[in-house]
């Protein structure tokens, strides 16, 4: 299905036909499967070739974007996941030099500048 009514739609914009997940289904695996199907159709139709930009998969907040990106790592895709506006982002843990005891605290926390 083409997203022709979407203002940013182009010849290379395609929307996955989504299905309702069954109770207990692995949502990340089902979503990755849907994205895999879209890329398969693009490849079959020769709308994506080696050297073209990667296909961008855009996910709303609530999806496990890291896991979906891992499941799609073998395909020419990039995954972009939206963060909820109340999400707290922390920096990495500083190296503690192998000290015994509780680890050092994380870097200072930050919040999204513009809540959605």
What's the pLDDT at 17?
Answer: 54
Helix (H, G, I), strand (E, B) or coil at 97: coil
**Tens digits of residue pLDDT in 8-67:** 544 455 555 556 677 888 888 988 998 898 888 888 888 888 888 888 888 888 888 999
**DSSP letters of 3-59?**
-TTSTT--TT-B-----PPPTT--HHHHHHHHHHHHHHHHHHTT-S-TTSPPEEEEE
Confidence of residue 3 (pLDDT cuts 50, 70, 90): very low
In terms of residues, how long is the chain? 116
Asked if the model's pLDDT at residue 99 lies above 80, the reply is no
pLDDT digits (tens, 9 = 90+) for 64-78: 899 999 999 998 889
Going by C-beta distance under 8 Å and a sequence separation of 6 or more, which residues neighbour residue 81? Answer: 59, 60, 61, 63, 65, 66, 68
| pLDDT in the model for residue 73 | 93
Cα–Cα distance, 18 to 14 (Å, whole number): 12
**Contact assessment for residue 41 and residue 19, using Cβ atoms and an 8 Å cutoff:** no
Instruction: Using DSSP, state whether 66 is helix, strand or coil.
Output: helix
């Amino acid at each position: 299905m083409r997203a022709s009514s979407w203002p940013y739609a182009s010849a290379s914009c395609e929307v996955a036909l989504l299905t309702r997940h069954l109770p207990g289904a692995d949502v990340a695996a089902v979503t990755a499967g849907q994205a895999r199907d879209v890329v398969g159709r693009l490849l079959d139709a020769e709308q994506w070739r080696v050297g073209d930009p990667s296909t961008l998969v855009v996910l709303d907040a609530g999806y496990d974007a890291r896991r979906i990106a891992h499941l799609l790592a073998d395909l020419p895709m990039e995954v972009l996941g939206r963060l909820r506006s109340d999400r707290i982002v922390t920096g990495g843990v500083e190296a503690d030099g192998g000290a015994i005891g509780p680890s050092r605290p994380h870097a200072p926390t930050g919040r999204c500048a513009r809540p959605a």
